[in-house]
Amino acid sequence: MTSYPKEQIQAYKEKHKQTGRLLIKCPDQPGIVSAVTRFLHKNEANIIESNQYTTDPQDGTFFMRIEFESKKLPAKEEELKHDFSEIALSFDMEWSLKGAYDVKKTAIFASKELHCLRELLLEWQSGDLIADIKMVVSNHEDCKELVESFGLPFFHIPSNKHIRKQVEEKQLELLKEYDIDLIVLARYMQILTPEFVAAYPFQIINIHHSFLPAFIGANPHKRAYDRGVKLIGATSHYVTNDLDEGPIIEQDIIRVDHRDNVEDLKKMGRSVERTVLARGVKWDLEDRLIVHENKTIVF
C-alpha cells in the first residue's frame, strides 16, 4: 500500500477511535428504541446519528442503525457486545455492534474492463473510500500495471468454466490469508460457484451493467438497443446463487435515444456503473446496509 492511503486510514481510525455502530433487525414491538437508548446512556454513549424504519407498525419488521461515541471503545467493545446480547435476546434481534475504526479488509476482483476498478482506486487514494484494500485479483493481466501503480498486491489467476473449482480454491486461500471482510466484483466477468458465495454471504458486491431486473445476464446493451429503450442504467447488488437476482443496493440511470448505437450505450453506461458501484461499496463500508429477504434497507 502506498503511504498516502495508509496515512488516510490511520487518520480515520484515530478520529473514530471511540465511534461505534449498532445495526438491528427484529420483529416490531413497543420498547425497542427505549431499551437501546437506555443501554447506550448507561454506557456513557452519545448518539451521533440514528435511523429507524418498520415495514409495518403492526407485526412488521423493525430496522435501526445508530452511530455513537463512547469512551468504552475500543477497549471494552467485547464487554458492550456481551451486555447488549441480553437486550437482543429479549427482542429476538439480529444485530451487530462494531467500531467504525474497524476498517474492512477489502479485495477487488476485475477482468478486462477497468473503469470501475479505476474509480474505486481513485476514491480510495483520495480518502473518500475508507477501505483497507488488501489486493486486486484478476483473470487477466490488463490491470496489473494500474494496480501496482497504487502500490497494491496484484494476483493474476486465469479462469474459465473448465477450471473454475481449482481457481476458486486459490482465490479462497488468498481471501483467508488476508482475512478479507468484503469482496467487490468490479466488472469481474466470471460466475461464482455456490460454494464461493456461501463462504462470504452478503459480503460480495457486484456491479451489473443494466437497470435490474431488466436485461439480466450477458449483453444487456445489445438487448436494450434492440428493444429501443430510452433509459439505461446500472445496479450494484449483493451476490447470491441466482444470477443478478441478489439484494439491490444502489441503481442509477441515464437517458438515451434512437441516435445511440450499442457502443454508445456501453460508453454512457460505464459512467453510471462507476458511480453506482462506488456508492454501494461506500454504504457497505459504513455499515449502512441491512439485508431483509431479497432487499436492502439503506440508512
- Give the Cα-Cα-Cα angle 143, 148, 154 (nearest 5 degrees): 65
E strand or H helix at 88:
helix 77-90
CB 114 within 8 A of CB 143: yes
E-strand stretches of the chain: 19-27, 45-54, 61-70, 94-99, 105-110, 132-138, 154-156, 182-186, 204-208, 231-238, 248-255, 289-292, 295-298
Q: How far is CA 105 from the centre of its chain?
A: 12
Whether 24 and 95 have beta carbons less than 8 Å apart is answered as yes
287 is a catalytic site residue: no
Side chain identity at residue 136, one-letter code:
V
- Measured on CA atoms in the order 274, 198, 218, 168, is the torsion positive or negative? positive
Q: Which three cell numbers stand for residue 6?
A: 495508509
Of 108, 150, 162, 104, nearest to 277 by C-alpha is 108
Q: Are 43 and 72 in contact (CB under 8 A)?
A: yes
Cβ of 94: how many Cβ atoms within 10 Å? 14
Q: Which three cell numbers stand for residue 22?
A: 449498532
Catalytic-labelled residue, pool 28, 132, 244, 284: 244
Q: Which residues are catalytic?
A: 244
